[in-house]
Structure 1
Amino acid sequence: MHVLILGGTTEARRLAELLHGTPGLTVTSSLAGRVASPRLPPGEVRVGGFGGPGGLADWLRAQRVDALVDATHPFAGTISFHAAEAAATGHVPLLALRRPGWVPVTGDRWYEAGSLAQAAGLLPRLGRRIFLTTGRMGLAAFADLADLWFLVRSVDAPELPHPPRMEVLLDRGPFTLDGERELLRRHRVEVVVTKDSGGTATAPKLQAAREAGLPVIMVRRPHMPDGVPVAADPEQAACWLADHLDLRIFRGTD
């Protein structure tokens, strides 16, 4: 049996770890290649795109893939639609592995935005010193805000276009609450901008912002394909695969 995991997330790596060593199973993890030094999961790894849904369907067929798991980032929307189309074309079972989104609690000052451009439009009336944690790929949406100062945190260095007044912090989660508190204090942050990525690795910034009384602009997740079953964590995904592929032994789940 052969499982293809569209990965690059913590959940994708964990799923590969759960499946690794299962007798009779080959696990291939596919990474987009947008991070220079990704954390590699166990098993087979391929890097780069497929050339659209047709290319992915061809790969599924050529590699005799028995199940496809879309464990990409919640904001990597295009590949999810490509996966749905390719799976339907090749009659391959498809599962989406999606960590739950964040939910505001008492004390949060969240402003929802439907896109990075909408988030940029909200900023001038909320503050002038911005902690931007939306990744390096979407900085063009903020490039015209020359009167604001940005602290940009990303795994790899951003490229143009980006805001003219910007300090870059190269770092990778998980982050601690004490560290996020100190970061907000040291840089005199007035507004936090983030995507609703969910999970625990970067959630401490939300608590730190809540404690400091700071507004948070939360960019909503894009729509996902309809009709695709969803697992909330790698363990659920492993159980789904066990049911569909009649697999009975998973390392670390005995």
Structure 2
Amino acid sequence: MSDEVENETWEPKPGSQASPTQPAIKPLPAEPVQRPASAAPVQQIPAEPTAKAPPIEAVRAPSAATDIQHSPKDLGALFAKRPLVLGESEADYDELLSKVTAAGKPTDAIEALWIKDMVDLVWESQRLRRLKASLLMKAGQQALTNLLAKTKDAGQVNGVRVFSVPELITAYAAGEAAAVAEVETILRRRGLDIDSLMAQALAEKLDDIERIDRLIAGADARRNRALSELERRRDSFARRRRFTAQDVTDVG
């Protein structure tokens, strides 16, 4: 019996899997796939055009050293404030600021501030000089008024009154020939000239004049210090650049 088993050869039946040990596995029937109803096509929203970025130059912060030369109004609150008093011109101040800045060529904000300080001090000094001249003019006119008030024929030409005393002084200050001749005649009769009259006016206002002179000297000194600080800072930077260049040369 054992010999029969050993000699028996296994052959697969038609339609079966060629496996001597496992029966053939029947595949499961495929279930139909339930597909959802077709949805409406999705409408694509067109993309908005992207704004082109401005060039770097357009968004770069303005340079104080450049703007101060061309438009002081664009330099912020500090530079927009002008140290003006009644009767002074904003345009004249801006012109002075532009010219001094163009000459000084500030390279950064610190130098621009020093330039602004110098311009303000120059402006203050010029104002004080104008006030001093105005004070002397007023004192001279008052001295002339006092003199003419004591002169009976003041304002008369060939015995005919042409000017009142105030009109004579106004016409003399304006340089009208008839008024100038009349005043000079009156002064000569008294042994005076206009310089001696102004000397009397100066003596009366000397204390005020000296105070104004001290204010002028102080403004000029502060202006000169600001200029010295600017020059010292630039010299220091120049020395540093030279030392750095020398170090690079030595290393090379």
Per the shorter chain, which TM-score range?
under 0.3
TM-score, normalised relative to structure 2:
0.27
Which of the pair has the greater relative contact order for Cα pairs under 8 Å at 6+ separation?
A: 1
Q: Find the structure with the greater CA-based Rg.
A: 2
TM-score, normalised relative to structure 1:
0.27
Looking at secondary structure, tell me which structure has more helix per residue: 2
